[in-house]
Amino acid sequence: MSTDFLTPLDAFTIIDLVFMTMLVVVGIAIVRLKDLFAVVMLSGVYSLVAAAWFVSLDAVDVAFTEAAVGAGISTVLMLGAMLLTAREAAPTKPIRHWVALLVVCATGAALLYATVDMPSFGDPLSAPNAYVGLEYLKRTGADTGVPNVVSAVLASYRGYDTFGETTVILTAGLGVILILGMGSPLRKKKKPAPAKTKTNTNKDEIIGAHHVVLRVVSKMMIPIIIIYAAYVQFHGDFGPGGGFQAGLIIASAIILYALIFGVEAAKEAVPPSLVRLGAALGVLIYGGVGVINLLLGGKFLEYNVLNPTHPAHGQELGIMFVEIGVLVTVASVMLIIFYGFTSRQPDISDKDW
Amino acid sequence: MMALAGIDWNTILPAWMIAHAAALLVITPLLSGPIALVLSRGRLAWAWALGISAITFVLALILYGQVLDHGSVEYVFGNWAPPLGITYNIDALNILILLIVAGMGFLSLLYGLPSIMREIAPKDQAAFFATYMICLAGLMGVAITGDAFNVFVFLEISSISTYILVAMGAGNDRRALTASFQYLILGTIGATFFVIGVGLLYMATGTLNMADITAQLQVHGDSRVVRAAFAFIIIGLGLKTAMFPLHTWLPGAYTYSPTMVGVFLASTATKVAFYAMVRFILGVFSPAAPFDGALLELVLAPMAVAAMIICSVQALYQTDLRKLLAYSSVAQLGYMLLGLSMGTAAGVSAGLLHLFNHALMKGALFMGVGIFVLSYGVRHVKDLRGLGKAMPLAAAAFTVAGLSLIGVPLTAGFVSKFYLITAALDRGWWWAVVAILISSVLAIFYVGRMLEAMYLREAVKPAPRSKKAAGNKPPVIALVPLLILGVANIWFFFDASMPKALTDAAASALFGGGTP
């Protein structure tokens, strides 16, 4: 670690400082506000600012994911969850949790304590920049033929971690299936039939009357969104993107459809049983690639054996397939969560929006 | 056990299964989860999961054989040599944990059929078994890996699936939901602390491979970043281990979860987190960090003693059987932490041996309670009246495990407590010996309460029977694993050589300056 390397106070540093200040301000506002709708919106803003900050830090892949997850899908999911509860947080008596405050302060102090010995920001000689990180930068081209080093690290060098993360997402989906359910047919039958048809016609009238622009625009947008998802998916080798982001974008497109045309229509287009299958299938595709490598005489997730004459081509092929696995599971689980939330209520009624 | 390890697997199984045993041990149950989800019929999913968990146990035995032959086994994922790629490193320390998790994973499933069929709605059963298999894979993934970030990934897999499994007790008792939520919040804080610690370690060393972190720490030397990393990792894992006073999530989670989940968690989950703690303190940090000797003595040892005594007293006052056993678990974790905090090979070996024995005894005790619940709807200590006569076999196995928990001679629990006391005396920690004895006396009382009700009290009316109870006959499929564990509790008194050899080898490797 060099001691003479210091970050000059240039434009980028100032931009970073502005972003960090904004994050703190938004964070405090989220804690103080009682209006849940504003909280959800602000948490979207928080993620967007964070994504912008990551771009300025040259972590474009992380920024893309943060924007897709934090500002995109989780805002929609939180809105869905919010509709199940009140618009405002119940007023609580201010209780002074001194022990909790002490613990939080101690944690902060520990982090501050550590900053003194941390390498300077951007120090090219610091351990993370000089050791394994540098090695990845040097080798990726020859090893995998994939220009985006992040994709290569994520899907090949540390592909086993990503396999684990895909399983984490499937597990989250299993949790929603088991605890919230996905709007099983049993639950619908319980509802008195006449009431249901009444609300349906009611809703159709309202949508037909007021949302022509929304319907037309979203019908035009949805195919474009899905094409964009395909671009993000397959361009992940060259630029920021990959299965995770693309899966989120596809799920967003379907959720958009559900918001405009009703959840029932979305469930007809993409039935819950299919989504449940998809969540399992994605992990099986990812693991399946690994098992095929194994049967071809390689190690688990050793994509080289897919093309013995051109190992780098094998790598590209393997990375493509595992990214498809990630896409399928991520998109499916996002829909499982969305269906899980919306099945807890009749439908997102127009009045609430 | 020894006989099983002696089988020449090479002649029975295909070569690729032997060669990739380390990876398959985790991948097989992990991939069986999504397949179980697709099966969608409860009994079919159960049979599938049972078959896979049997294969998993065989794979653990294959690895055990390889560790005995070669001392340690390494598997390199994607054939990217570390530190570029992720490795699995198996040695005497983690093969012991893997055998426990794989073995208990199989026995819990075998045991669980009748209770799950009753406790979980039929449409949820396939997803339940899928989650269970993923949890099993996650726990083994934590124990087997040689990569610090990979620990985090599999810790997340096992934790999230555990929250779900605990919440599935809501069919029996709605309090399962709050217990699961509390566990989720504390578990997430623990995981966050752990990953912050790993991030700081990466900042200090530039690598994520555990052995390489140790090597790089020796190059870069001590720094504030390393110290902060150490603190964050130990607190994070402490939450997962239910180290006193971070144990508040445990009693609820063990009490309200479905019967089978309680059995499985009590015998595996905290053990795996404890293993990770041993690995990080002694395997990753110790050779390079001079400060952890003080931590062991000044922080871990008092907490261990507090857990052993305070939680044993709390166990005394419980009326709910499973809650009593849960508090006893926190107290027993204190014994393991005490062994670790001694900072000697003998102490760590004794702590790990107690971990092995505790899995056997707590597994059996939770199984016993589960059978009583199943047959008589028993929940409280006083409901045990007269069960000694009504269910002699189950009661006998339960009694053996209870005596083992106290540490009575002729049971496995005696052996590990004996070694623990010897190690404490070697270290000159007479107060630790006193604490062990006090805690054991408390155990006599809380186990004694249960046994007294079971054998000495007559059932006032024909044993209390709830609507949910199936009948007086314990289901054979649930009784068999209980009896296996009951016998194991006696077996490992007479021949503790198998676990003792492993824990001794593990402890001497940790203190011999050897890295995983």
Cβ–Cβ below 8 Å for A113 and B163:
no
Q: If you measure CA to CA, which chain B residue comes closest to A288?
A: B31
Name the band, by pLDDT with cuts 50, 70 and 90, for residue A93: confident
Chain A CB contacts of B210 under 8 Å are none
Q: Using alpha carbons only, how large is chain B's radius of gyration in Å?
A: 22
Asked if A157 contacts A136 with a C-beta cutoff of 8 angstroms, the reply is yes
Confidence band of A199 (pLDDT split at 50, 70, 90): very low
Sorting pLDDT into bands at 50, 70 and 90, what band is A187? very low
Residues of B in contact with A298 (CB under 8 A): 79
Position B138 pLDDT exceeds 90: yes
* Residue A193 confidence (pLDDT) above 80: no
Average pLDDT, rounded, for chain A:
82
Closest-CA distance of chain A to residue B61, Å: 20
Side chain identity at residue A158, one-letter code: R
pLDDT band at B292 (very low <50, low <70, confident <90, very high): low
Phi and psi, residue B206, nearest 5°: 75, 15
B94's enclosing H/E stretch is helix B92-119
Give A200-257 as a DSSP string.
HHHHHHHHHHH-HHHHHHHHHHHHHHHHHHHHHHHHTTTSS--HHHHHHHHHHHHHHH
Flag the least confident range among A270-274, B18-22, B290-294, B370-374: B290-294
- Which residues in chain B have Cβ-Cβ distances shorter than 8 Å to A301? 77-78
Q: Does A122 touch chain B (CB under 8 A)?
A: no
For residue B464 the two structure tokens come to 């209390």
The pLDDT confidence band at residue A124, using thresholds 50, 70 and 90, is confident
Q: Which of A116, A158, A168 sits opposite B157 (nearest CB)?
A: A168
Q: Do A174 and B127 touch (CB under 8 A)?
A: yes
- H or E element that contains B89: strand B87-90
Residue A341 has a pLDDT of 83
Restricting to A residues 277-336, those with a Cβ less than 8 Å away from any Cβ of B are: 277, 279-281, 283-284, 287, 290-291, 294-295, 298-304
Contacts A158 to B, Cβ<8 Å:
85-86, 149
Q: Which whole-number Å values give the CA distances from B160 to A4, A166, A217, B437, in the listed order?
A: 45, 13, 39, 37
Å from A101 to nearest chain B CA? Answer: 15
Whether A353 shows a pLDDT value over 50: the answer reads no
| Residue A85 contacts B, CB cutoff 8 Å | no
Tell me how close the Cα of A330 comes to any Cα of chain B, in angstroms. 14
What ipTM was reported for this prediction? 0.91
Burial of B352 (0-12, 13-18, 19+ CB in 10 A): buried
Secondary-structure breakdown of chain A: helix, strand, coil percentages, each rounded to the nearest 5: 75, 0, 25
In this structure, what is the dihedral angle of CA atoms B480, B484, B485, B488, given to the nearest 10 degrees? 170
- B17's enclosing H/E stretch is helix B15-19
| pLDDT at residue A7 in the model | 57
Q: Model confidence over B49-73: pLDDT tens digits?
A: 999 999 999 999 999 988 888 888 9
Q: If we measure between CA atoms, which residue out of A69, A242, A54 comes closest to residue A154?
A: A242
CA distance B65 to B54: 17
Give the chain A residue whose CA is nearest to the CA of B150: A161
Domain boundaries, chain B: 291-509
pLDDT at A349 over 60: no
A108 part of contact set with chain B, CB < 8 Å: no
Q: Give the model's confidence band at B17: pLDDT under 50 very low, under 70 low, under 90 confident, else very high.
A: confident
- Taking alpha carbons only, the member of B394, B399, B396 closest to residue B475 is B394
CB neighbours of residue A14 within 10 Å: 10
Is some CB atom of chain B closer than 8 A to the CB atom of A78? no
Number of inter-chain CB pairs under 8 A, A vs B:
171
Name which of A111, A167, A285 to mutate to probe chain B: the one with the most chain B Cβ atoms within 10 A of its Cβ: A167
Q: Which band of pLDDT confidence, cut at 50, 70 and 90, is reported for residue A68?
A: confident
Cβ A114–B225 below 8 Å, yes or no?
yes
Residues of chain A neighbouring B228 (CB-CB closer than 8 A): 110-111, 113-114
CA distance A150 to A238: 10
Nearest CB to A184: which of B33, B123, B205? B123
The amino acid occupying position B5 is A
CA distance A309 to chain B (A): 17
Q: What are the pLDDT digits (tens) for B160-171? A: 999 999 999 888
What pLDDT is attached to residue A190?
39
- 205-234 in A: which are within 8 Å (CB) of B? none
List the structure tokens of B128.
Answer: 């339940």
CA distance B414 to B417: 5
Candidates B153, B161, B205; nearest CB to A164: B153
Residue A317 has pLDDT above 70, yes or no: yes
Residue B74 DSSP symbol: E
Is A119 touching B (CB cutoff 8 A)?
yes
Q: Which of A128, A158, A294 sits opposite B202 (nearest CB)?
A: A128
What are residue A276's phi and psi, to 5 degrees?
-60, -40
- Mean pLDDT across chain B: 87
Residues 6+ apart with CB under 8 A from B355: B96, B97, B100, B271, B274, B275, B336
Predicted pLDDT of residue B427: 87
Q: What is the mean pLDDT of residues A120-130?
A: 81
Please report residues of A whose CB lies closer than 8 A to that of B122: none
Helix (H) / strand (E) element for A318: namely helix A311-342
Between positions 237 and 276 of A, the ones with CB within 8 A of B are 276
| Crossing angle (nearest 10°) for helices A311-342 and A74-82 | 20
Rounded to a whole number, what is the distance in Å from the CA of A105 to chain B's nearest CA?
14
Tell me which chain B residues have a C-beta less than 8 angstroms from the C-beta of A277: 38
Contacts of B14 in chain A (CB under 8 A): none
pLDDT at A195 (0 to 100): 41
In this predicted structure, the answer to whether residue A348 has a pLDDT above a threshold of 60 is no
In sequence order, which ranges of A83-158 are alpha helices (DSSP H)?
98-115, 127-130, 132-144, 149-152
The tokens for B502 are 């492993």
Q: A154 CA to chain B: closest CA distance, Å?
A: 11
Question: What is the DSSP secondary structure assignment for residue B71, as one 8-state letter?
Answer: S
Cβ–Cβ gap A158/B33 under 8 Å = no
Relative to beta strand B87-90, strand B73-76 is: antiparallel
Cβ of residue A145 closer than 8 Å to a chain B Cβ: no
Contact B206 A298 (CB under 8 A): no
CB contact under 8 A, A294 and B207: no
Residue type at position B413: G
Question: Given this model, what pLDDT does residue B261 score?
Answer: 93
Task: Give me the residue from B31, B78, B128 closest to A160, CB to CB.
Answer: B78
Query: Cβ contact (<8 Å) for B84 and A136?
Result: yes
Mutate to test the interface with B, among A113, A136, A178, A333 (most CBs of B within 10 A): A178
Residue A121 forms contact with B (CB below 8 Å):
no
In order of start, what are the domains of chain A with their CATH numbers? 1-130 (1.20.120), 149-353 (no CATH)
Q: And the tokens for B273?
A: 């987190």
Q: How far is B228 from chain A (nearest CA, A)?
A: 6
Per-residue pLDDT averaged across A281-292, rounded? 93
Question: Is the pLDDT higher at A347 or at B264?
Answer: B264
- Confirm or reject contact between A114 and chain B (CB < 8 A): yes
